[in-house]
Amino acid sequence: MKKSEKILLAISAISLVLFLLVLVNLYQNSALKLIDLKINSAITTIQIQSLIEISKVAGIIIDPEPMIIFGLILSVLVWFIYSKKESALLFFSMLFSGGLILMIKETLKIARPENSLIQNTFLSFPSGHTTITIVLLGIFCYWILKSKRKRFYKSLVLIASALITLIVGFSRIYLNAHWFSDVLAGLFLGTFILTTILLIKIILGKNKREKI
């Protein structure tokens, strides 16, 4: 196994463990639940109308359902103009992410904060916005990193993607649309999905080349 594969495997395993730890902590009503309540209460003291509106717009733009549809449509375009393999990667990633998020939400049935500033009765855990953002941007970053573009451009894309992810996660907490633990779980779940799918793609590609 190559170094890159070992790194992906390690990140995938660590992300899964951290996601499960968040989940266990919530059901044990431990310190994490107390942190959720304190952050939810504290965030109301720094809410201003202009940032609330900006956060709402950001939430609409990066809503999981439209993002998944966008990813599926983009995968069709990628099929014709870039690569069938990368198209399949994006297509499967979007379907798998959406299905897994829905399954977890429906299984755990964790409610959103009562003081949420958005009208959304759908379940809270994990944050779909955070999860989908990480998976989608992560695939874009993967494409950029394996391209022949200059290192500066690659670094710029990575930094921009990280900032967007942080902004999305913070906006969900800022609107009281999610608990802190929802966003944290979305971060770990998205990272797990992304690294696992990339690892599977690399291993399958390597096995196919060996057979040839």
Res. 5: pLDDT tops 70: yes
197 vs 208 pLDDT, higher one: 197
Whether residue 186 contacts residue 131, with contact meaning beta carbons closer than 8 Å, is answered with yes
Evaluate whether residue 49 is within a structural domain. no
Evaluate whether residue 164 is within a structural domain. yes
Mean pLDDT on 105-123: 85
Evaluate whether residue 46 is within a structural domain. no
Res. 69: pLDDT tops 80: yes
Angstrom distance (rounded) from CA 209 to CA 212: 5
Evaluate whether residue 156 is within a structural domain. yes
204 vs 15 pLDDT, higher one: 15
Angstrom distance (rounded) from CA 193 to CA 133: 12
Whether residue 163 contacts residue 106, with contact meaning beta carbons closer than 8 Å, is answered with no
- The answer, as to whether pTM is greater than 0.85, is yes
Which of these, 186, 176, 209, lies nearest to 136 by C-alpha position?
186
Evaluate whether residue 43 is within a structural domain. no
Can you give the pLDDT at residue 212?
45
Angle between helices 64-81 and 128-145 (to 10 degrees): 20
Question: How many CB atoms are located within 10 Å of the residue 185 CB?
Answer: 28
Can you give the pLDDT at residue 206?
64
Can you give the pLDDT at residue 209?
56
Whether residue 124 contacts residue 179, with contact meaning beta carbons closer than 8 Å, is answered with yes
- Omega of the bond leading into 126 within 30 degrees of 0 (cis): yes
> In total, how many domains does the chain have?
1
Mean pLDDT on 177-191: 94
Evaluate whether residue 127 is within a structural domain. yes
Which structural domain range is residue 80 located in? 3-35+54-111+120-211
Spatial CB neighbours of 126, under 8 Å, sequence gap ≥ 6? 19, 101, 104, 105, 182, 183, 185, 186, 189
Mean pLDDT on 129-143: 92
Can you give the pLDDT at residue 85?
86
Average confidence score pLDDT of the chain: 88
Confidence of residue 208 (pLDDT cuts 50, 70, 90): low
Evaluate whether residue 42 is within a structural domain. no
Res. 138: pLDDT tops 90: yes
